Structure 1
């Protein structure tokens, strides 16, 4: 494995707000330790990946339920990634069940004892991009060599949101800028697609579903932009994303957030409330830029956010180009990458 020069520092266990990602904010500070396991296996799909994930979710609510076991499962590039937490007996029972169901033994990337960060039987996600199973296995090999110094959520992040600028065998530096583009509808993802097209970068799509049987999935997306000093990851989400802990796990604390405010007051105010909860949990120091189509709705959203979070906030009443949106995500004085 080849590491980037900043990998050792970037993959050290987090000590700031990122260390609490996935934690239940209402839980007491002192919790009994559980066994945390992240394992991978090749996906032998008989249908769509989401259909397979929905079937797995149904099993954990039936006879396949292991008491005390919580988990998150991901499909990416022809692989399943499973992150589980619970009593050691529950984890061992799940491993035995998996070995009976599959022809190959799952590969364990991370095994540690620590505080519980998962609280649902099984949440679902899928990452959709062009990398195939063989190149992705090189990513798995790179993670396996560093997994002993990583938290389970770090292993999950690297595999669930691969860096599109880094070769498979190189672990990406986590020393990146992060920007969040949000709207109450699919507008944020559409603008992210246009940004990706403008800068000739791939857009990676993601699907999520929570643990409740019968609930539908919803989408998010991201792209990576090369900068002179460090990478910018633009993450795009809709209103539904802020109500799901697994999406909070996927969204790294952003330096700047751009909220696209439409003309419909109610859904946009609901988005603002969800964003405020996300910021209080993740990083209240972020900068919020409101880009409003309607001045009155924009002002109402600004009032809601100012009353709930301490983040710096600016309101702009103008349509912006893709390059201008990227400039907002970087900060007004930052240099925009060349198209």
Structure 2
């Protein structure tokens, strides 16, 4: 899945209408060992093309992840349609050893017909399998976690064993970072990883054929910061049109906008972000980050008019270096708690 430079023109999500559904849906997540013979990326694209057409007939929306030689699929929609899909998957030669790790009825999170992802990991297939089984056993005992927590614990886990990670879910500070121009958020994340001797986790997301093109989203864990840890997630601007952003934005305490000297660029990115926040009915703190001259009153006015808090992480005059950017940002994030 390749990254491209251009952004989509809007952050709308026409597949799901203008409003979130208030009706509960069936929700199921399973993990299965991949038996794909050949490039996984090619197979993921074939799965996408089939799923976008056929799942819509049954009111299903799906997120599919490939990691450590496993598939993880999150399905939402009518429970009868979910069970029929799982039965078909169980017979599919591309999968084996299917384990259900979550099943419930509740508020939907997936509002695009299909989201696909391939995640890099230093974890072995055996280690991943142990986390799958831990979640499966909790599900069988009726002590499972919420679907978003289950998905994250497999696809982008917090540091530590699944039980330790789950205990930190509610207090781990998640912060999305986006840059108004070029790749500033990703550059800052890589610099910070080098400074803290941390490891950047790389993910690639693909949407449905009517969605945004493939995008990158990297993250870095800082387990000793915040109340019980902090995760910084660098997102591409075009990711605002992706279903995965809509699904997980409600779990973010803040969104950082790395501003640009061109105020028009900053305002355009902010407007797209504010639209997405309205669509998912989430009010994270919006943090402007950059040199003093990059801030204009319209940024605060636009944010607060939409009912979201506006915070500023200023670095002073001149072109800021990574150390100054992080120093200013960390001060604001520490105040958020």
Q: TM-score range by the shorter chain?
A: 0.7 to 0.9
Relative distance call for 1:170 and 1:284 in structure 2 (3 A) is: closer
> What is the aligned length?
309
TM-score normalized by the length of structure 1: 0.78
| Alignment match, 1:331 | 331
> Counterparts of 2:311 and 2:212 in 1: how far apart (Å)?
34
Partner SS for 1:171 = helix
Matched residue, 2:6: none
Distance 1:256 1:322, change over 3 A: farther
**SS at 1:149 equivalent:** coil
Cα distance per residue 1:298-317 (max 9 Å; x no partner): 55544433443430322625
Is the partner of 2:91 in helix, strand or coil? helix
Q: Do the aligned residues in 2 keep the contact of 1:239 with 1:274 (CA within 8 Å)?
A: no
Change (3 A) 1:52 1:187: farther
Are 1:131 and 2:123 an aligned pair?
yes
Residue in structure 2 matched with residue 6 of structure 1 by the alignment: none
Q: Distance in 2 between matches of 1:180 and 1:56?
A: 29
The residue that corresponds to 2:177 in the other structure is 181
Shift of the 290–46 alpha-carbon distance from structure 1 to 2, 3 Å rule, reads same
Show the counterpart of 1:114.
106
Which structure: greater helix fraction? Answer: 2
Q: CA RMSD in A?
A: 3.1
The answer to which of 195-204 and 275-284 deviates more is 275-284
**Shift of residue 200 of structure 1?**
0.5
Is 1:58 aligned with 2:49?
A: yes
Q: Are 1:211 and 2:208 counterparts?
A: yes
- 1:171 is matched with which residue? 165
Q: Which of the numbers 144, 153, 162 marks the counterpart of 1:158?
A: 153
In the superposition, the TM-score normalised over structure 2's length comes to: 0.78
The correspondence of residues 282-293 of structure 1 with structure 2, limited to 5 A, is 283-284=282-283, 286=285, 288-292=287-291
Q: 1:311 aligns with which of 301, 309, 312?
A: 309
Question: SS where residue 136 of structure 2 aligns?
Answer: helix
- The alpha-carbon distance between structure 1 residues 238 and 277, as it changes in their structure 2 partners (threshold 3 A), is same
Cα distance between partner residues in 1 of 2:17 and 2:263: 30
Q: Is contact 1:71–1:82 with CA below 8 Å preserved after alignment?
A: yes
Contact 1:177 1:255 in 2 (8 A): yes
Structure 1 unpaired stretches of 5+: 1-22
- Residues 114 and 99 from structure 1, CA distance in 2 versus in 1: closer, same or farther, beyond 3 angstroms? same
Q: Distance in 1 between matches of 2:110 and 2:332?
A: 38
Distance in 1, Cα, partners of 2:71 & 2:118: 9
Unaligned runs of 5+ residues in structure 2 are 1-15
1:26 maps to what in 2? 19
